[in-house]
A and B are shown apart, each in its own frame.
Chain A
Amino acid sequence: MEHAMTLVIFTFLSQMAIGAFACLFFIDTYKEKISERSTVISLITILAISAVAVVVSVFHLGHPFAAYRALLNFGASWLTREIVFFPLFMFFVLLYTFFAKTKAQKQILGWTTVVFGAVTIFSTAMIYTIPSVPAWNNGTTLAAFFLTALLPGPILVQLLLALLEKRTVNFNLYTTVVAFLALLLNGVTVSVLKSGLPAAVESAGLLTASPLFWIKIATLAAAFALAGYFLLKKKAGTVSTVTTLFALVIVAEFLGRILFYSSGVHL
């Protein structure tokens, strides 16, 4: 697999998995009663996605079997930190899946998991928040990575529940707001880049010249419109609308991640 593609897949899947877990945890612990079967299947799906992310990421190494050596620089390297925290997140998802029975247990394990997930996303973002790539060296990287957790993650859960429980949890307000933020971030990013160093300005040019960027905007706008429509209609939507929504946001976020790497002009 092409070098940058492995990174695209890892960051995208890991962030979506983290967001999905957080969503599931909040619903499960604080909002609605979900059947145990649905919860376990959803959690296993999240774990499976995480596992795929890890496997793919290992293949971006020249020496996959020496991956353990990537743990050696915790003191300085955000990559090491990411490599430490993401498996910790996964481990706690596992614990949560099989050992969180009471609400208190759920709260303790759930929150710990969410924190490890958030720290993972923060670490990943910090890997890229570096002066050598001016387009990345600002808050938009962190914002973009968290939005990948916050947008496709919950919709994934929504979809899983719709399939498993044959009912649609109503996320429309949430989705509308986050999709709007995601749309907004694109504008913010482009204007931040345009006012940055020459390399960042070049990145902005690459970004807006790419058809992928406009497809991303269009899919986000469609997701925003769809969720907004059901919000106004005060309807939860059907399996097929959730599926559509999910398809729209994963396309948007995946393309966004491809663009992130391909437009990151080095100094």
Chain B
Amino acid sequence: MAKKQKRYAFLINLERCIGCNACTVSCKSFYDLHPSINRRFVRETSELLTGTPKRNYISTSCNHCDRPACATACPTGAYIKLDNGIVKHNQDRCIGCRMCATACPYGVPQFDPVKKKMDKCDMCVDRLEAGEQPICVVSCPLEAIAIVDLNEIDESQVVADLPGFADSSITGSSTRFILPKGTTVVRGGIKSWNTL
């Protein structure tokens, strides 16, 4: 029996992510990206995600969407959706019109001011094919990023949407998140409030 086709996706564990950007910088270093652009983005998300206020972050790169808006917008057909789910951008075709950046709900593709072409995460497809994990995955000090097969995971344990992250249904974003657990918060009152 033929093996079921994989659907690779990022699984981001918000319970572990500390918003440090080690993922962003290690990727930037490994791929020698132009200093002004990044392939991964770490943003703060709602402090009230779990009720009691705390610091929460989402680290995302390209979401390797099921219906990639970048691919639809691109006039050169530089974007291809691979069978394993990865949306790959072919820089050789790219003419730097930036339509993909406008069309992507996540603003993922970045304009490289030297190459004058777009740049985007390809889920380290070469490494994956060589049996290695992506650079951001192996660099995250908290091991908060994983590559999963959407055909294998239990979708009830994860979410695809978060505040501050564009509606996943627009393009069928494949990124999944593990929500943080709540923290019991004890905060003492202050007495001298009126004098502040």
Residues of A at the B interface (CB closer than 8 Å) are: 3, 60-63, 66-67, 69-73, 76-80, 83, 127-128, 130-133, 266-267
16 examples of A-B residue contacts, CB within 8 angstroms:
A3-B98, A60-B97, A62-B95, A62-B96, A62-B98, A62-B111, A62-B117, A63-B94, A63-B117, A77-B73, A79-B73, A79-B74, A127-B99, A130-B69, A130-B103, A266-B107
Report Cα–Cα, A3/B77, bound state, in Å. Answer: 21
Indicate if the CB atoms of B75 and A72 lie closer than 8 Å.
yes
Indicate if the CB atoms of A266 and B102 lie closer than 8 Å.
yes
User: Shortest 4 CB-CB distances between A and B: which pairs?
Assistant: A62-B96, A62-B116, A70-B75, A73-B77
Chain B, interface SS category: loop
Report Cα–Cα, A3/B74, bound state, in Å. Answer: 17
Among A78, A79, A267, contact of B97 (Cβ-Cβ < 8 Å): A79
Q: Which residue on chain B has the smallest CB distance to residue A3?
A: B98
Among B74, B102, B116, contact of A73 (Cβ-Cβ < 8 Å): B74
Most chain A beta carbons < 10 A, residue from B73, B75, B105, B107: B75
Contacts of A131 in B (CB 8 A): 69, 105, 167, 170
Residue B93 interfacial (CB < 8 Å): yes
Among B75, B96, B105, B106, contact of A77 (Cβ-Cβ < 8 Å): B75
Most chain B beta carbons < 10 A, residue from A76, A132, A133, A267: A132
Contacts of A80 in B (CB 8 A): 75
Report Cα–Cα, A69/B71, bound state, in Å. Answer: 14
Among A3, A63, A76, A266, contact of B71 (Cβ-Cβ < 8 Å): A76
Residues of B at the A interface (CB closer than 8 Å) are: 69, 71-77, 93-99, 102-107, 111, 115-117, 166-167, 170
Indicate if the CB atoms of B96 and A132 lie closer than 8 Å.
no
Contacts of A77 in B (CB 8 A): 72-75, 77, 99
Report Cα–Cα, A62/B94, bound state, in Å. Answer: 9
Using A132-B102, A267-B166 as known contacts, say yes or no to A73 and B96 having CB atoms under 8 A apart.
no
Q: Which residue on chain B has the smallest CB distance to residue A66?
A: B95
Using A62-B111, A132-B170, A266-B107 as known contacts, say yes or no to A72 and B76 having CB atoms under 8 A apart.
yes
Report Cα–Cα, A74/B117, bound state, in Å. Answer: 20
Using A131-B170, A132-B102 as known contacts, say yes or no to A63 and B96 having CB atoms under 8 A apart.
yes
Contacts of A76 in B (CB 8 A): 71-72, 77
